[in-house]
Structure 1
């Protein structure tokens, strides 16, 4: 059952900060350097520079993350001073002007010389130069000036005014350089060089400065980079012990005495601001910091009745923020202010019960994901990453593994906000290579600073529950692996003594030294057994480590092409596809490079979802899994290397759900009524009367299937069955329906039908309002349909996209791994009836964006998107959902009740009760008795309240409640099956934009306090 979102907004958006500059607050200024860089890529080295030649000048950049003596910067002229690209007077007028984040390869073309499938067939290799003018005032030069780079691929080297400052070779870590010694008053020339080998990654890594870049100005005495650590040794519903450690750095010319104090506030993750009054205060006291040194200051406090952070649906991801201030002696004005968001939660890895989050026993229902964002490439975008995490939550996932590298900082902020559990991972290789030009060569020099940097940056995120220091390391079974694992664990523990350290092992076994070193035992595929082999490593690890948490760091690797069903269908619940083309390859179509979506086909090492469920049920002490993968990703396109992207995802590269999505949803969300039929039921005439197996994924325990109203029998799930199969039915045009049952009562329904001739395009935007900040996105889906809006499941019509208004189409896609059309193309063939356009708002512009899709012989389709300039909004003090938010993409994971709202009247009543409880609709004794939503007496016509709100919402972009003090937002989220089920028809829509019908309604209400 698919879900789409239509939002009626009294405030246009779920607001989050769009301004990327933080004014100097307490002596600290952090501003974005993302805009207007000059860029040029060279396929061959244009400057004769290399990492080896610059290494001695770059290694000192790591000194903050080395325990003991660091590296000394050599004397003399550093490399690159004579290269024209670093010189202030070099003319870069002919270079491309770009904004960051930037992935130079994603525009294509595909198949450049020397490219291979495993890196996505895109031009990632070469040398890239970035240049930007940065201006400093005389006052700026009295401060420390830092360049913060969140990620650059790869071997970054930085020059300021022609002098090599430093760099960082590992492309996935964030890093900081001190520009202070090289800065001057007026214009300064910043130049960054990146150098990418042809074969540096086993998947598509992107290329360029693909994350945010910041300029930080602070006083010489300040809180160090990532210099706070909030630990919570005791957490319960009654109280929490909070310790805040602060590292103060003095880069001035004399010893400084400073007072350190911290206040703790409730944190609004949407606005990224503290709310209300401080809930606790800590006095770290006065410390003396010698020049050129760092000094720590610690303090603790107990907080009664804390708001705990935890994953939905049973918990809420509440957050706090610690605001730390430094004061010079006898001064009341802070010389530095530093904000540290965090969450209060108890995490216990129990050897039998699973992961205990605030006492709730959870199994890890996780997915592995690479860092690309589909057709957007590696250039990070908050909305694109948020959409991915929300879709995975809708499926029932509660955990993410950042395979196989640290993510963007904002990715973890999203996880914090949504309540996802994160296994944060750093390395794919250690000392021994997987590819000749991967990052094993820099590992000996950088293993300590990379590991410490990674942990120090991410340790305050409540979503991060464990550190993974490796994946399928070649030396995992020998002494070198044991030594390295021991060292990496010690580095991580030095930065964060609390969280456990693990890695993904795919060999070596329980008796290796490395298995003993790591805290929790992560297995890649070993527990489930590869292919049809049912031999499991779980028992041997359980016998060796009876008190340790054991889990699957990587599972499944099932492959499929979305919407493609091939015959005959394999018996059993797992079938191996051989690597060799000269052997029979069941479940594949080599001509089209398709893999069947019956979800039964795997590589030799892999397993189907059914097999993983079976093995983890059998060995019920196993703490869960991370499926390979949540989304298809660029590169690694097994079993067809000539394709551009993988087949492993549960969701395809464009974000369209494969059948597998519903198999996981059925297992991971047993409380959610759902049923899903596969395959589609639109086949050519030569399939009539041919065997066409029907499979049903349902959270029920039995189901009955009907073809054209005729029962095909009622079946009940066996003890080790996670799908129901009718393998001997034959195809007859018409419709297939299923009625699922649970404990004897009807539970859910689904239906597919034979679709008629395609006549039109239906267009739907995932969000109908976006921020005009130049970053926000709307994902616009196009469906090739018949007259009754049934999606043609085999349509491949070429679609042309056009856009009018303050928006632009960034990329298009269709989820087809074999499609080598360049992503920026405005022409895209539908694949299995679907295509996607990603629309970005233009910065600083507001208005209506109209997206039009046309195809020869089909009626065009359009979607309207409102681009809104976000007002100055303060903190949100009320945000609740009236249904389980994981049902639908786009909701905030705060669930008030899971009671079904089966009509407009019941929804209206629930909404009125909710707002009255908050005392935001007036009433006797209400603090906000003057609040007026413009809908009359809500108690007099409670059942009509929703309809009145819809009218108000469609009349304007926002409504002020309580005079000028509040802004209110309501989002109505709808399903796509049958409008009559809740009595909502197109007349209620007042604009015809629902269109697809409604089965379940979710309302999110946000009341915002307006800043003065």
Structure 2
């Protein structure tokens, strides 16, 4: 047969195979639904049970017998007065700053000194269709900070101590099919897990997963690739789980589609047998021709589809994005990606952002990674904990290399389990190039104990993923212990030891600077201001044993055997406000501030970390009152030469040294400071700083002007001011107020000022008050109840519901209790969420009727209370009702008449400019239409920005 005949035969076989596959009946398509919408939230308490909704105080606790979740874990608990919100949510960012709060966590008023704001409860009611009976259903949490306990329909599911681990619980047997279900989560952020801001609450996504009992196990695929020429050999491992009571015989089919969605490889394994409640692994080898490699410039992503076919039925389908690429650390030449040498130009980062804390919507992850790439960074170290999956997705799609870091070193079963979950979850991400198993473990770094722990963890990690190197960030001297045994040495700060000497001792060990810099800079500030705790943004040694950004980069750039360096940090973060303390609340280390506005060091790095021409002048040129004084002017550029001008007069041309900068001392005169950059004698760039007049107008600009109307997408809006000639005012500190209309909401504001104590999140303040001191009096009937309204002293009154004889109930009862309102309640909305304590009920507050002849309702009744019937201090509730009976002695009847909610509306959104800038984050509410944001300030021209929200159906969710 000739070549044409062979091709025709292969084509026919492929079509036949596709036809057979098309006849497969899909039994129940796997679903993964976003559970972020429609939650209720309220504060609990770490030790006062009455403030923690009396949870865990029942005769049988939730730990004693199944289904005995009480208090806020009880599905019948009335949460109507709780705050409504969507996830992700960080309640810490909503709190005020307080000097008694934690230095490392940015002085936010949570933690041991603030028990009333350190425990948070979340509840969500959702429906499960009856048709789901027979499927396996799980709830998946990407991360809850921290020490979270979870219940479903009153059944305790478990506790996850770490705030960084992803975890899941099987709900299958606990659900009400064809009815409503209640998930309850208690998070306790009293104790810190790290030494930096960590937020509080369900700050990552929650998912509901549905699939057949015969399915691909969670995180159950592992794709590895070997590249040979233009082809790639793909090993596709799948762990199959049979959670049914009968054995299964099935086929596994795996298909690879390329970045354009075209099928490029297919394989299968047939007649696989699996016993009940057992797992097995199967591996299929697939060849991808003309492979498109994943790299930094072209982050091509393939997709592996794993399908389980039982008879003629598709039981499960599971998709795994992956990339085809090779990685290698070399002890002499550094790091290689796809066989090409790549110098790692990285940053360390924590996970919080201005306004939203740790609760970053997905688009904000992409925004931050793009900002780092614009700076020239090609690598990201997750410091010092497992990241949210969406961060890695952003790195996969945008082309950013990642060191993925374990939270805590240790080799016991618990800690190995944490590391296992991390690696199993993240090992298909092509962006991940190394696993870091620890950071600055000073107690064990230079000891035999540390070496043993590191060797065991390294070997265990490699048993899960042998394709990546293992590293540790070491700072306590590079002498012995962990640094002797680790795959790739991670040097934290060249001032902490002799790196060259360590390399000579271990010439076969690759190395990189896992942390370098820790420099101090305040964006837009060029004179130290001790009173405001602002530090000039000129690059300099922060401390004797630390080095400037320029010094650090020169060190690693000049050593080919060093894979590269990771700067501490890419962005400022809350907490660790070194070298200051209160009132500084964020770090000073970032190349960018907390909003992502660049400090000047960004342009030094951009000059030498990427190839595009760069020319940057610092400082600004607004120095009124300093006329004639010398100003330190610096130029960051990768041009060969730069010439500086002041008001068109040349101040000289200077050559640029590799990995350096240029510097002039310029006597200040208002006007225009201009630089011209040359390459090979040709002018290629100009840059200037112009003295501005007073601010007269506000300017708004968004990082994108069209959003997906899915309740998640967002726009990051830059706020600045200009003078009458539209010249930016770099020293402006005007307070700007914001309003919004249309299908959007503001979710955070910031300005990057490290010592600002302004609020960054404005939410309604809710205070819930119970009815206390309830007494009761038997009366002849409901109709006669009014004559007893003024009866307060009759000796027949007694404690309500206590010792009530349910076999000999009175015809009716009058109940009386009190609640207390604050002096300023008139600025709030007061709502009574009433729970029935009888039938034919008549309600009065302070003797005034609010409801008449209302029925017994499991859903309860809601009454907005007129301020005219209320008073500051003690108020009186009276309920006249026919009593609820008991059919059986052990029946429970409701004895709680409900909750008074005092809701003070959030203050208007506002923020002061800092060094001329502020930021507003606007998120869609889920509907389509025009979102209009207005910014105003006294004496300035108001600005309005319109953003379009367009329909989007790409992510399924439970609302």
Q: Is the CA contact 1:451–1:491 (under 8 Å) kept in the aligned structure 2?
A: no
What SS does the aligned partner of 2:731 have?
coil
Equivalent in 168, 176, 179 of residue 171 of structure 2: 179
Q: Is the CA contact 2:753–2:914 (under 8 Å) kept in the aligned structure 1?
A: yes
Distance 1:755 1:500 in 2: 52
Distance 1:265 1:199 in 2: 44
The match for 1:406 is 386
Q: Is the CA contact 1:243–1:300 (under 8 Å) kept in the aligned structure 2?
A: yes
Equivalent in 902, 924, 939 of residue 857 of structure 1: 939
Are 1:523 and 2:491 matched, yes or no? Answer: yes
- Larger Cα-atom Rg: 2
Q: Is the CA contact 2:101–2:110 (under 8 Å) kept in the aligned structure 1?
A: no
Equivalent in 422, 426, 437 of residue 458 of structure 1: 426
TM-superposed deviation, 1:379: 1.0
CA RMSD, aligned part only? Answer: 2.4
Distance 2:724 2:285 in 1: 66
Q: Is the CA contact 2:710–2:953 (under 8 Å) kept in the aligned structure 1?
A: no
Are 1:105 and 2:92 matched, yes or no? Answer: yes
**1:840/1:493 Cα in 2 relative to 1: closer, same or farther (>3 Å)?**
same
What SS does the aligned partner of 2:612 have?
coil
Q: Is the CA contact 2:423–2:461 (under 8 Å) kept in the aligned structure 1?
A: yes
Q: How does 1:884-903 map to 2 (within 5 A)?
A: none
Map Cα deviations across residues 164-197 of structure 1 (whole Å, 9 max, x no partner): 1123211111111112233333222221111112
**1:196/1:48 Cα in 2 relative to 1: closer, same or farther (>3 Å)?**
farther
What SS does the aligned partner of 2:666 have?
coil
Equivalent in 570, 580, 587 of residue 646 of structure 1: 587
Q: How does 1:573-972 map to 2 (within 5 A)?
A: 588-642=528-582, 643-669=584-610, 671-685=611-625, 687-718=626-657, 722-726=660-664, 728-825=665-762, 826-843=909-926, 845-870=927-952
Q: Is the CA contact 2:101–2:109 (under 8 Å) kept in the aligned structure 1?
A: no
TM-superposed deviation, 1:198: 4.5
Distance 2:547 2:268 in 1: 54
The match for 2:812 is none
TM-superposed deviation, 1:507: 1.6
Equivalent in 304, 323, 338 of residue 322 of structure 1: 304
Distance 1:345 1:589 in 2: 49
Equivalent in 270, 278, 282 of residue 293 of structure 1: 278
Q: Is the CA contact 1:119–1:201 (under 8 Å) kept in the aligned structure 2?
A: no
Equivalent in 288, 294, 304 of residue 309 of structure 1: 294
Q: Is the CA contact 1:78–1:164 (under 8 Å) kept in the aligned structure 2?
A: no
What SS does the aligned partner of 2:562 have?
coil
What SS does the aligned partner of 2:336 have?
strand
Are 1:487 and 2:467 matched, yes or no? Answer: no
What SS does the aligned partner of 1:858 have?
coil
What SS does the aligned partner of 1:223 have?
strand
TM-superposed deviation, 1:617: 3.3
Q: Is the CA contact 1:397–1:668 (under 8 Å) kept in the aligned structure 2?
A: yes
Are 1:336 and 2:316 matched, yes or no? Answer: yes
Q: How does 1:479-558 map to 2 (within 5 A)?
A: 479-512=448-481, 514-525=482-493, 528-529=494-495, 537-558=498-519
Q: Is the CA contact 2:67–2:153 (under 8 Å) kept in the aligned structure 1?
A: no
**1:872/1:44 Cα in 2 relative to 1: closer, same or farther (>3 Å)?**
closer
Q: Is the CA contact 1:424–1:468 (under 8 Å) kept in the aligned structure 2?
A: yes
What SS does the aligned partner of 1:93 have?
coil
What SS does the aligned partner of 2:941 have?
strand
Distance 1:122 1:616 in 2: 40
The match for 1:576 is none
Map Cα deviations across residues 83-128 of structure 1 (whole Å, 9 max, x no partner): 3111121111121122111111111222285443544424366222
Distance 2:211 2:78 in 1: 32
Q: How does 1:82-481 map to 2 (within 5 A)?
A: 83-111=70-98, 114-116=101-103, 118-123=105-110, 126-185=118-177, 186-232=179-225, 234-267=226-259, 275-276=261-262, 278-312=263-297, 316-328=298-310, 331-427=311-407, 429-430=408-409, 444-474=412-442, 475-481=444-450
Higher relative contact order (CA 8 A, sep 6+): 1
Distance 1:78 1:215 in 2: 26
Distance 1:75 1:758 in 2: 61
**1:773/1:24 Cα in 2 relative to 1: closer, same or farther (>3 Å)?**
farther
The match for 2:863 is none
Distance 1:82 1:456 in 2: 32
Distance 1:128 1:486 in 2: 39
TM-superposed deviation, 1:136: 2.9
Q: Is the CA contact 2:409–2:437 (under 8 Å) kept in the aligned structure 1?
A: no
Distance 1:853 1:507 in 2: 50
Distance 2:26 2:576 in 1: 45
TM-superposed deviation, 1:604: 4.4
**1:872/1:311 Cα in 2 relative to 1: closer, same or farther (>3 Å)?**
closer
The match for 1:955 is none
Map Cα deviations across residues 853-891 of structure 1 (whole Å, 9 max, x no partner): 111111122222111113789xxxxxxxxxxxxxxxxxx
Map Cα deviations across residues 230-277 of structure 1 (whole Å, 9 max, x no partner): 011x21451101000110111111221221110000246xxxxxx23x
Q: Is the CA contact 1:322–1:341 (under 8 Å) kept in the aligned structure 2?
A: yes
Distance 1:102 1:26 in 2: 32
Distance 1:247 1:302 in 2: 20
Q: Is the CA contact 1:674–1:749 (under 8 Å) kept in the aligned structure 2?
A: no
Q: Is the CA contact 2:308–2:317 (under 8 Å) kept in the aligned structure 1?
A: yes
TM-score (normalizing by structure 2): 0.77
What SS does the aligned partner of 2:936 have?
strand
Distance 2:761 2:85 in 1: 15
Q: Is the CA contact 2:438–2:473 (under 8 Å) kept in the aligned structure 1?
A: yes
Distance 2:588 2:733 in 1: 19
TM-superposed deviation, 1:618: 3.5
Equivalent in 26, 31, 34 of residue 33 of structure 2: 31
What SS does the aligned partner of 1:89 have?
coil
**1:138/1:858 Cα in 2 relative to 1: closer, same or farther (>3 Å)?**
closer
What SS does the aligned partner of 1:610 have?
helix
**1:208/1:75 Cα in 2 relative to 1: closer, same or farther (>3 Å)?**
closer
TM-superposed deviation, 1:79: 9.0
Q: Is the CA contact 2:354–2:748 (under 8 Å) kept in the aligned structure 1?
A: no
**1:797/1:486 Cα in 2 relative to 1: closer, same or farther (>3 Å)?**
same
Map Cα deviations across residues 897-943 of structure 1 (whole Å, 9 max, x no partner): xxxxxxxxxxxxxxxxxxxxxxxxxxxxxxxxxxxxxxxxxxxxxxx
TM-superposed deviation, 1:636: 1.3
TM-score (normalizing by structure 1): 0.74
What SS does the aligned partner of 1:128 have?
strand
Q: Is the CA contact 2:69–2:151 (under 8 Å) kept in the aligned structure 1?
A: no
The 10-residue stretch of structure 1 (177-186 or 818-827) with the greater mean CA deviation from structure 2? 177-186
**1:237/1:383 Cα in 2 relative to 1: closer, same or farther (>3 Å)?**
farther
The match for 2:822 is none
TM-superposed deviation, 1:601: 4.4
Q: Is the CA contact 2:69–2:156 (under 8 Å) kept in the aligned structure 1?
A: no
**1:225/1:24 Cα in 2 relative to 1: closer, same or farther (>3 Å)?**
farther
Q: Is the CA contact 2:354–2:749 (under 8 Å) kept in the aligned structure 1?
A: no
Q: Is the CA contact 1:222–1:336 (under 8 Å) kept in the aligned structure 2?
A: yes
Distance 1:813 1:236 in 2: 50
Distance 1:462 1:78 in 2: 45
Distance 1:285 1:109 in 2: 61
